[in-house]
Amino acid sequence: MVAIALPITFAFAGMASAATLTSSDGTVTLTTTGTVTAGTPYSSGQTINISVTANTTMNNASLAAAGFPSGAVAIKALECADPNGDLADLPTKSTECQPDTVLSIPGAASDGSMSFTDYTVYALPDTVTFGEPSNGTPVCGTAPNFCVIGLFSNQSDFSKPHIFSAPFQITANADDGGENPGDGTPEVPYAVGLPLAAVAIGGGTLFLRRRKQRAA
């Protein structure tokens, strides 16, 4: 298991294009645009694309059952806080999302799939673009203050259908210019990463040597 997990979580900084983060249920995928540095957080002001596969939460039947006529309702994407980046801490009320980050589309497809292009992410609270005070809420940026994108049929009413992206991290900058864009994941500190790499390489070498000895 460790051998499989290491390459996924063990992202050293490096240039990449179209890096993705997918929610644990496989429904929501965040995709970077342009070239980004792998293993680093998004940069405030960076744009990403959001795609959603067919799902039963936001499909037409679900939205109609929630009271939207014929299931017709604009879908709104908002950036929210997800402390610790785990499912248990996903937002449960509107004050955990930042309304100024809204971007809307006229609705999901009947099967619940949808896409947003060029969604801009911000480290929150954001003073540069939204004029928030430095002690504003919600707070999302770097660990443990992870962010998620919420996709809502009614962002003021969490009893209505909504889904969340995978958690991501984002760093603030002086102008929300998206400088040094990343893939939304934490950069693994070399102090931690190098010893782990040494263990992995050493283990691999040992494994190969023993196999060679066995074969001989």
Partner 1 sequence: MRNRKLRNRFVGAASVCVALLATTLVVAGPASALTVPAYPSIGAYPRWFTANDSVSNIDRAAGSDTTFYMMQQLSDDYNQAGLYGCTLVGSGSGENAFCDHTTGGAPNYSDTTTTDTADNFDSSEELMGENDIGSGNGQQQLCGILPSPQKVDFSRSSKPIASNAGCSTLAEAGYAKDSVPVTDVQDINPAAFGAATGYEGKTFTALNQTFTPPAFPSNGLIGPVAAGWLPGDPTNCVAQGSGGSGPFCSGTPFNDVDGGTGTGASSVAYRLWCATDSTRITDWGQLTNLSAANNGGTAQTVGNGKPIGVPIRIIGVNKGSGTVATFNAFANSGVTGGGCSASPFNSNAASGQNPLSNDGYTGNLEIALENNASQIGDFAGANWPNDPADQAVDIATSLYFEGYGYYNTIPNAGTVQIEPGTGTIPTGVPAAYVVFLTNENGIVPSIANERSNNYPTARTLFNIWNTTAIRASAAGFLNWICDTNPVSGGGGSVTKGKDQLYGGNFDQDITNTIQQYGFSRLTDTSPELTAAKITPADGLVTPNATCSANLSITSTGTATVTDNAGTVPSSIGVGWTVTGDAGAGVPSGTTVVSVSGSTLTLSNAIPSSVTTIFFPGHPPVLSVTDPNS
- Interface contacts to partner 1, rule CB under 8 A: 51, 68-74, 76, 95, 99-104, 106-107, 109, 114-115, 117-118, 120, 129-131, 133-135, 153-156
Q: Which is nearer to partner 1, 116 or 188 (CB)?
A: 116
CA 98 to each of CA 24, 67, 92, 101, 168: distance values in angstroms, whole numbers, following the listed order: 23, 25, 13, 6, 15
CB of 181 to partner 1, least distance (A): 17
Instruction: Using the minimum distance from each CB to partner 1, give the nearer residue, 16 or 103.
Output: 103
Q: State the minimum distance, in angstroms, from the CB of residue 66 to partner 1.
A: 10
Is the alpha carbon torsion for 21, 14, 47, 106 positive or negative? negative
Q: Is 114 in contact with 162 (CB distance < 8 Å)? A: no
Rounded to the nearest 5 degrees, what angle is found at the Cα of 150, between the Cα atoms of 100 and 186? 95
CA dihedral of 104, 18, 43, 167, whole degrees rounded to 10:
70
Distance, CA of 137 to CA of 70 (rounded, Å): 35
Residue 3 or 109: the one with the smaller Cβ distance to partner 1 is 109
Nearer to partner 1, 40 or 153 (CB): 153
| Smallest separation, CB 87 to partner 1 (Å) | 26
**Whole-number minimum distance, CB 180 to partner 1, in Å?**
20
